Structure 1
């Protein structure tokens, strides 16, 4: 096979029908082979030849070019599974929403595919919100006729509104999900440009400031909430999902079940926090979840944020402190005390060590060893 001769396959939508796009450099051999394909046509818009996207036609295409011309199908076939092991998510709430009569809802097949792919509730909410924003921007257009130019124009519209890079990336993901996953056209918008990922340092406070925040809590329940967020490095959602049985006082560990990425892990249980938890347990008597609302069930996420912010304000800390600030501070303080990055990665539940390495940028150890030129 001549390595210089190649074709690249693309997913196209032309006149509301799925097509196989075939792009190639001018070559007589390839042109002659293409003439033998079922009803090949030229697209001025996409600058490539196309044929109907059917299993039969795809088989004919591969049989025609295999062994003669190299076929690049990286833009055509999916290269990884999507959340195949996650637990079910109920999307009925999205179906039952009350919206304005002229508001355009995402297609039912979009919600169905999100269910089948078992995305988390927060991801489902994000995807539906952003995709509906996109299709309402083009309310008078059939969504299957929208192409790369329309997507880029919409992204430019958002950029002019001053949205962040991470926001734009989520919008792109929600749009690609419909055209590439729901319509089963993998990598159709492979060439859509993504903004660079923003590099932001985590917000960290000192150990003394953490202790002052804990000292400003108004009751033992609030005190335990802040102590666990910090001493166990928990995400807010992980704290809310903790059950009484997840606290292992014999091994001094906390079991975090179904954390981000639907992975279980173990993290540290502070002796100080354990003593306060015992007082809290006798006083509040939770039944299932470690922290429950007045009527039972999970404690609210808003309440956790309110507890942290009010205690930080009373402690006189000027910078914004959130539950995640306590998690960042936990990791940074461990690193400063000599704990290695791999151990911190395990405690935080990070899939990649690169995520954990960001804390090396905020540890005071990095700067203490450098003599300031002014001094």
Structure 2
């Protein structure tokens, strides 16, 4: 039987911050948790809890991991980010706090994703802290340039983050046109052309075979067989899986676009077994109470499966998407079709997989092989030249 996932979160109880330990009822786990020093049951919170501290959290984490329980602590990260944003606001004036709220609403009006809104707002919070009480009418190109250099220099941002920072500032200057920012030439650095890591088809099969848990195996098989993003799998509703037509409808994916991907015939028996066993109600894969499943959980059991399968490459859910695209191209599927299946808006984004696909590259012979082959043919009486020993003269 699958062990329940334990969820760490925080709350205030009796004027004290506490760490909540939530899980689906399990008598064995309940008895084990009760033996942890200092843990208490709260009827009000309907949860076990301990006084919150970094040390206690680490001790409890290690205690639970001894029994191989999986802990989802994504809520702690969210709480930490919210606290950092709140702390950042303390260092800017009330006027700038209002501007920050205006900026957030402006981005939402542009129909940007929530993730992009949060990221851009964080950058502009840094900008307003840097400016302190400088009136927007005095904000010019030089101050922006100094801010960008100072921010990037101290925080060692990567190129993708650098590009997001520049975009955030451009949006800010569009909203508040009373600034003296004129013809701002903040060049976005070119994206790094890093080839995506992929698994071989054999490694994918090995990974799936090494995944003993049915729910986990079905999730990983869907990620690879459909090329879906992890967010798309988490939000996938059962009603959008069309088994008669072997199709999956992905609603409002990245770029607010619907698209259709294939439902692999080999995946259908696994899908049926999983649905019959777990009986999800709305979503393909569900968390506690029928809510969205945690992406942290998926990354964790993918990592465990790869370790069990003896795969030493760094593998993430997106690696399975990269592998899906690469294998399609190696099997002769056209670039345009792959673009549609992945939901890319630009063909250039899909073209990177042509550099990874090895269908044509594998047909090219190394000049060393050609040299050895020629030497073998000219050396009478010897059918094959071995490089593992010295050649006779």
Determine if the TM-score, normalized by the shorter chain, exceeds 0.5: yes
Judge conservation of contact 1:180–1:187 (CA < 8 Å) in 2. no
Looking at structure 1, the residues matched to 149 and 84 of structure 2 have their Cα atoms a distance apart, in angstroms, of: 32
Task: Identify unmatched segments of 5+ residues in structure 1.
Answer: 1-92
Counterpart for residue 363 of structure 1? 357
Judge conservation of contact 1:180–1:186 (CA < 8 Å) in 2. no
* 2:154 equivalent to 1:151: no
Counterpart for residue 124 of structure 2? 131
Looking at structure 2, the residues matched to 319 and 109 of structure 1 have their Cα atoms a distance apart, in angstroms, of: 44
Counterpart for residue 153 of structure 2? 160
* 2:297 equivalent to 1:303: yes
Cα separation, partners in 2 of 1:328 and 1:147, compared to 1, 3 Å? same
Looking at structure 1, the residues matched to 89 and 258 of structure 2 have their Cα atoms a distance apart, in angstroms, of: 43
Cα-to-partner distance string for 1:215-255 (whole Å, 9 max, x where unaligned): 12131110011001000000011101100011110010111
Task: Identify unmatched segments of 5+ residues in structure 2.
Answer: 1-80, 370-393
RMSD, aligned α-carbons: 2.4
Q: Helix, strand or coil: the match of 1:107?
A: helix
Q: Pick the aligned partner of 1:374 from 368, 379, 382.
A: 368
Judge conservation of contact 1:252–1:268 (CA < 8 Å) in 2. yes
Q: Helix, strand or coil: the match of 2:367?
A: coil
Question: Where do 1:11-30 residues align within 5 Å?
Answer: none
Q: Pick the aligned partner of 1:334 from 328, 352, 357.
A: 328
**When the two structures are superposed, what TM-score results if normalisation uses the length of structure 2?**
0.67
**When the two structures are superposed, what TM-score results if normalisation uses the length of structure 1?**
0.70
Judge conservation of contact 2:218–2:271 (CA < 8 Å) in 1. yes
Cα separation, partners in 2 of 1:253 and 1:209, compared to 1, 3 Å? same
Counterpart for residue 277 of structure 1? 271
Counterpart for residue 385 of structure 2? none
Question: Where do 1:1-375 residues align within 5 Å?
Answer: 98-99=86-87, 102-104=90-92, 105=97, 107-161=100-154, 162-183=156-177, 188-375=182-369
> Mean Cα displacement is larger for which, 134-143 or 318-327?
134-143
State the 1:100 CA deviation.
5.7
Q: Helix, strand or coil: the match of 1:258?
A: strand
Looking at structure 2, the residues matched to 110 and 95 of structure 1 have their Cα atoms a distance apart, in angstroms, of: 20
Judge conservation of contact 1:148–1:192 (CA < 8 Å) in 2. no
Q: Helix, strand or coil: the match of 1:257?
A: strand
Cα separation, partners in 2 of 1:182 and 1:214, compared to 1, 3 Å? farther
State the 1:284 CA deviation.
0.9
Looking at structure 2, the residues matched to 150 and 138 of structure 1 have their Cα atoms a distance apart, in angstroms, of: 8
Richer in helix (by share) = 2
> Mean Cα displacement is larger for which, 217-226 or 142-151?
142-151
State the 1:188 CA deviation.
4.1
Judge conservation of contact 2:137–2:179 (CA < 8 Å) in 1. no
Judge conservation of contact 1:213–1:312 (CA < 8 Å) in 2. yes
Judge conservation of contact 1:135–1:143 (CA < 8 Å) in 2. no
